[in-house]
Amino acid sequence: MTDSKYEPRVDVQLQGLLGEALSANLNGRLSHFIVDETSPAIALFAPAARAANREGDWYGEHAGKWMVAAAKAAARSGDAALLARLRRVADFLVSTQEDDGYLGTYAPERRFMRKQPPKPVSWDGAPSVRTWDIWTHAYLILGFLEIHRHFPEPRYLQAARRIGELCAQALDQGIDITDLGNHHGLSATVLMDPAAELYFATGERRYLDLGLNVLVQADRHPELALLPRALAGADAAEIATGKAYQLAWNLVGLAKLHRATGVPAYREAVLGLWRSIRERHLTLGGGPWGGVAHRSREVFNAPGAFNPQGYVETCSTLAWIQLNRELLAITGEPVYAEEIERSAYNDLLAAQAPNGEDWCYYVFPNGRRVHTTYWRCCKSSGAMALEELPAIAYACEGEATVAVRVYGPGEAMLDLPGAGRVRLQQITDYPFDGRVRLRIGVDGPARFALKLRVPSWAEGASVAMAGEGAAAAAPGSEWVLERVWRDGDEVLAEFPMAPRTHRALNRNVQESRAPDGSQVQQQVLRYEYLGLTYGPLVYATTLIDGYKTEETLKLPALPQRDWLAPGEPLDGLPTLVLRPLRREPLVFAPYYAAGGRVDGAWRLTWMGLAPEPSP
């Protein structure tokens, strides 16, 4: 079964916060990081550099990531200079591809086709010879395919196909994919994603077989066992080492294998681990996080563990957005669009600097903002994640339905059979205000269905045609109206925003059995925290009193509206004011902007709560 669903043309221009971030991305990272074959991230692939590289680095990943993001940005913006740079870099890479299809950065003795000695046991499941060769090739395949999708050139598709054929040949000749990546193979089994994309692009069964072979080998590895463990209900932290970025990317590939084959078990496995991540391993800002009591900052915490200083790797936010994109395509359910929006407006924007060049490797609910160094993976991952958003914000579902999935100023032009060209324009201050005016443009009267996502936080939401009575819309649902639309028709959506509190708990209960067999439970640790949201945005404060990195609050025994309410704007942004007992009020601003988005700024999302008196 091929992925042959109807795909009409959709042109999207995002404005507002997301539009500013995309513009900064285009004019910053995508225009300056790589410009030609002499750029350091591309010079790695020159034959002389390749022949001398015996180190276990990941730096080759930037080429494919940049190609993916730059191709999308050039297509949406029409930037001729970026497109010229993109073609120049892609042509250089094609020129360095070797006769067997190899296009990595490693000397011959370190390449993935060369069987290596047995690996010693290590905490992170690293192979005996550390390599990111498959990882780099996976991103190269995706990069070439993305260019070919927007600017079709046979040589780019052929380069991707030759990499896929080399990978398939290596596995057929006895190479085990789990020997080729860290985290018990998770860093190599990501090949499922580009293998599926090769199948979608060509319709050739051999690429689907490659992806399925990778899954078979992943399932055979006792520490990984991706599909069996997922179907058995394992928590995301229990799959291999629980590495957040790699696991989420594996799930993207598994979701695509479901789209290609229709096998229900693949879908169920992905959904099970998605629920595990969403329920136990996300920050308020929608980023997968870890780093509590573990050697890796990027590994999911044990279920139930909580620490406000935990780490969100920006690469993990990219993979989480992509995973929700795939589940949205498979199910059409609005919850996945809401997760994408939450991640985008909070942890993703919180990682980007306004100049579009600088990114944070990690963001923290409670911690200092640190712009990372030149080579770090998250700078390219953040750029990729932003470029995912335009294609997700609006969509055609079938041939007679248009859907608005991400809210914010902007517009989309969509082609519908029978309806012709449809223009949707969002007029709104979202995410700062929940009022959304949607203006429809058509060449002539046209019948189609309009679908609007109702945010789960929007209690009392309503939707109405302009000039007509409003209808209530249940939070977390979709509002759908099918009718004959005329040019200039407007739909008014009201998504009421109110300050919300969220509780988190760092708790430890000691469990044992008494000599008579009865269970004994004793709570030995308990710290409770309070976080705030307002509509889709998480709110945070900077250093408290100018120097404190944390504070313990005692809340009044009064209705919430008496101690938490919107305040006066600060630097043009809405605020929340919290008035605890026994101290001055605290002012909170949107998390992504707290501290001014400058290197070294502090953001504090979770406030400790005063302990309750012991019984």
Q: Residue 122 phi/psi, 5° resolution?
A: -140, 155
Residues pairing with 448 in the sheet: 483
Identity of the amino acid at 261: T
When pLDDT is cut at 50, 70 and 90, the band that residue 419 belongs to is confident
Burial state string for 117-140 with b = 16 or more CB within 10 A and e = fewer than 16: eeeeeeebbbbebbbbbbbbbbbb
- Which residue matches tokens 């780019």? 156
Q: How many CA atoms lie within 13 A of 557 on its CB side?
A: 1
Tell me how far CA of residue 532 lies from CA of 22, 411, 527, 569, in angstroms. Answer: 27, 30, 17, 17
Encoding tokens for residue 522?
Answer: 């004793």
The conformation of residue 366, written as its DSSP 8-state character, comes to E
Task: Say whether 193 sits in a helix, a strand or coil.
Answer: helix
**Three-state secondary structure along 420-469?**
EEEEEEEEECCCCCCEEEEEEEECCCEEEEEEEECCCCCCCCEEEECCCC
Tell me how far CA of residue 394 lies from CA of 341, 408, 422, in angstroms. Answer: 12, 11, 12
pLDDT tens-digit map of 543-582: 999 999 999 999 999 999 999 999 999 999 999 999 999 9
Encoding tokens for residue 79?
Answer: 């930037």
Residues pairing with 288 in the sheet: 282
Helix ranges restricted to H, 36-79: 40-43, 47-52, 61-77
pLDDT tens-digit map of 396-410: 988 899 999 999 999
When pLDDT is cut at 50, 70 and 90, the band that residue 5 belongs to is very low
Task: Say whether 93 sits in a helix, a strand or coil.
Answer: helix
Task: Say whether 8 sits in a helix, a strand or coil.
Answer: coil
Q: How far apart are CA 52 and CA 22, in angstroms?
A: 37
Q: How far apart are CA 605 and CA 363, in angstroms?
A: 11
Q: Cis omega before residue 613 (within 30°)?
A: no
Q: How far apart are CA 1 and CA 178, in angstroms?
A: 27
- Which residue matches tokens 């990682």? 351
For CA atoms 86, 91, 92, 93, the dihedral sign is positive
CB 90 within 8 A of CB 34: no
- The whole-number pLDDT of residue 8 equals 60
pLDDT tens-digit map of 573-607: 999 999 999 999 999 999 999 999 999 999 999 99
Q: What percent of the chain has pLDDT over 90?
A: 87
Helix ranges restricted to H, 151-243: 154-172, 186-189, 192-202, 205-220, 226-231
**Mean model confidence pLDDT for the chain:** 94
* 22-44 mean pLDDT: 97
> 32-41, 300-309, 453-462: which range is least confident on average?
300-309
When pLDDT is cut at 50, 70 and 90, the band that residue 294 belongs to is low
The conformation of residue 74, written as its DSSP 8-state character, comes to H
When pLDDT is cut at 50, 70 and 90, the band that residue 468 belongs to is confident
* 533-547 mean pLDDT: 97
Q: How far apart are CA 196 and CA 486, in angstroms?
A: 41
Say yes or no to pLDDT of 293 above 90: no
Report, in angstroms and rounded to the nearest whole number, the Rg of the chain calculated over CA atoms.
25
Say yes or no to pLDDT of 4 above 50: no
Q: How far apart are CA 392 and CA 385, in angstroms?
A: 11
What are the helix and strand counts (H, E) for the chain? 18, 24
- The whole-number pLDDT of residue 296 equals 82
pLDDT tens-digit map of 96-130: 999 999 999 999 999 999 988 877 778 788 877 76
CB 423 within 8 A of CB 446: no
